[in-house]
Structure formats: structure tokens, C-alpha cells
Amino acid sequence: MRVGVLTGGGDAPGLNAVIRAVLKRAEQFGIEVIGIRYGWAGLLNMDTVPLSYKDLEDKIGEAGTVIKTSRTNPVKDEATMNKCIENFKKLGLDALIAIGGDDTLTAAKRLHEAGLKVVGVPKTIDNDLKGTDYTFGFDTAVNAAMEAIESLKKTGEAMDRVMVVEIMGRHAGWIALYSGLAAGADLILIPEEPFKISDVAEFVKKRKAEGKGSLTIVVAEGALIADYKGPITKDTKVDQYGHVYLGGIGEFLAKEIEKATGFETRAVAPAHIVRGMSPTAFDRVLATRLGYAAIELVRKGVFGKMVALRGTEIVSVDLSEAVAETKLVDKSLIELKNALTI
């Protein structure tokens, strides 16, 4: 049996741990595994690499992905879809393990419907994929973001400043909410709750009047300002899935706060730094369990599924269920956030 494995979309800490587990389990059953490089681009260009467990053995704690990744969309038209199916056959593959987030797995679902034997593994630091309780990479990103916020809180305190920290999170505010709560931020702004600049300014004035010397405000990069058209972007360019390049809301907000309140304000965006950290133990173990489960599905000949964490169990769910909608932050967590911050 010959199995291809690819990693698609933005990298997440734990990708190498998944591949490592896939290889270990595959070798126990004499299954050959090849890496398809740069995500779906590798399938379109037949860019592959042989993989063996010994190459990954010592990489459980390494961020990034040894087989590279990209945001290539293989289902953007019929020609690319057909090319994928043709190349899958040319490579002599019996199955494909696609490790990715919403975009990669939506493509996997469509290719499965077109006949490809695919198993999905959920990955995104954003944790916004339905069908799984957590994605690996999220815990690492949260811990890295928490440390960044705590550090900025300290320098903010020393100079009585308002510190605005912009944290990754395109459609959902999971990382901002978890890291902000864990670091004791004063205010956390997430895409799920559009906010008014005037409300933030009033909040700053009120807390300052109450005697708080410095304030820390966490804002998710995809947070929305009420009455403003869409998220703040760095660029008008879009990727192959039509996503704009987000970024800049922190700077924007900091300027507005300083203008409205007169308090010195600084903005910092840890951005990709939270994506390249060595995976936490939680993410390493989750990634390992998912890699193992993916090979089990391949061995059983079960395709069109995504392996997932539900409670403490690893289960499999239909790819169509996993990509049906974005997993936004729960209402109960938003209530908790609002009770503990505002």
C-alpha cells in the first residue's frame, strides 16, 4: 500500500508530530508513505519526497512542516481538480492524508466526492474548525500569545501606557480570548462581537479614572469595528481561497484610543511568532493521536472522513460536517470574558 501525506494552509505547531506518528504506524504495517510537498501544489506538480520514520523520529518538538506547505487551492477549477485525480493515479497512491484547516479540508472533501481516497487531519492555530473540540497548534499559539501579552503588560505598567496587542485569529477569536483571559487582559475584542471605537475609548477613560495606571487590550486580527466595512487589512491582495491579508487593527485602534483619550498608547502584533513555537505537550500528544488514527482509517479503507478530538476520545467525522461552518467562540465563553474584563 502507498499513501501520500500533505500539509496545507498556514503551518501549525504539531504538523511534524502528526507526520511522525503516521510514519511510525505505517511502517508497522509495511505501508509506504510519500510526502507531497507544499500542500496541494505538490499533487499538482508531482513534487514528492520519500519519507521514513527515522527522518522524523527526533522532530516531535519541531514547529513547521518537513514537507512544506502552501495555500494552493486544487479545486479552483475543473482542470486543477482533474490534474489532482490524474496525478494521484500516476503516483500509484492508494490513499491520501491531508492535514489542514478549513480550506485544505474543503478541497479534500470535494476531491473525495470526485473519487479521491482521502482522510483529513484537522490543523489550525485558530481552532475554528467544526467537528473537533480542539485543533493542534492552538494550545501552543495560546501559550505563546499569553507570554507576549504578559511581557507587554509589564512594560505598559512601567510607563502607565495603554498597550494594544493584536493576536492572530481570522474569523474566530479563540486565541485572543484564551490568551487574553490567561494573561489577565483588561479588554478582549474578537470577531464574534463587533465593537465601537467610542466604547473602547470610554472604557479606557473609566478605568483610568478608577486609578488603573496601565491597560492591556487584546484584539483579534479579524475583529470587526461596528459600522466599518469589513475587517482591517494590510493589503487588498487575496490568496487562492479569496482570503484577504489581515493585520493592522491593533495600530488603528491604538491611534484612535490615543486621539480620543489623550493617554499614551502603543500597539504590538506578535503575529506569526505564535505560529512557529515548539509545540506544547498537549499539541504533541493530540497531533500524535490524530496521525495514528489517520493511518487506522486508511488501513480500514474508510475515506471522506476527518479524525477528530471529541471530549477525550479520538473519533472520525464526515469531512462535509467538519467544513460545513466555522467554529466560533461559544456564547458561554463570551459571557465569561465579558464578566471578567469589561
166 binds ligand F6P (CB under 6 A): no
When the beta carbons of 124 and 214 are compared against ligand F6P, the nearer one is 124
**Contact set for ligand F6P, span 272-311 (CB under 6 A):** 275
Q: How far apart are CA 318 and CA 327, in angstroms?
A: 16
Q: Extract the C-alpha cell encoding 306.
A: 476527518
> Among 131, 169, 180, 270, which residue sits at the site for ligand F6P (rule: CB under 6 A)?
169
- Specify which residues 220 forms β-bridges with: 167
> Among 68, 109, 153, 170, which residue sits at the site for ligand F6P (rule: CB under 6 A)?
170
Q: Which stretch binds ligand F6P (CB under 6 A): 23-31, 43-51, 124-132, 312-320?
A: 124-132
> Among 121, 223, 246, 322, which residue sits at the site for ligand F6P (rule: CB under 6 A)?
246
CB of 78 to ligand F6P, least distance (A): 26
CB-based contacts of 339: which residues, under 8 Å, 6+ apart? none
CB of 46 to ligand F6P, least distance (A): 24
Residues with active-site annotation: 126
Q: What is the DSSP string of 246-259?
A: E--HHHHHHHHHHH
Is the CB of residue 132 less than 8 Å from the CB of residue 125?
no
CB of 243 to ligand F6P, least distance (A): 8
- Specify which residues 309 forms β-bridges with: 314
Tell whether the torsion through CA atoms of 184, 187, 188 and 192 is positive or negative: positive
When the beta carbons of 13 and 131 are compared against ligand F6P, the nearer one is 13
124 binds ligand F6P (CB under 6 A): yes
Q: Which stretch binds ligand F6P (CB under 6 A): 19-27, 166-174, 201-209, 308-316?
A: 166-174
Separation of first and last alpha carbons in the chain: 57
Q: How far apart are CA 20 and CA 148, in angstroms?
A: 30
Nearest partner of 38 among 66, 75, 78, judged by Cα: 66
By CB under 6 A, name the binding residues for ligand F6P: 9-10, 124-126, 168-170, 221, 246, 275
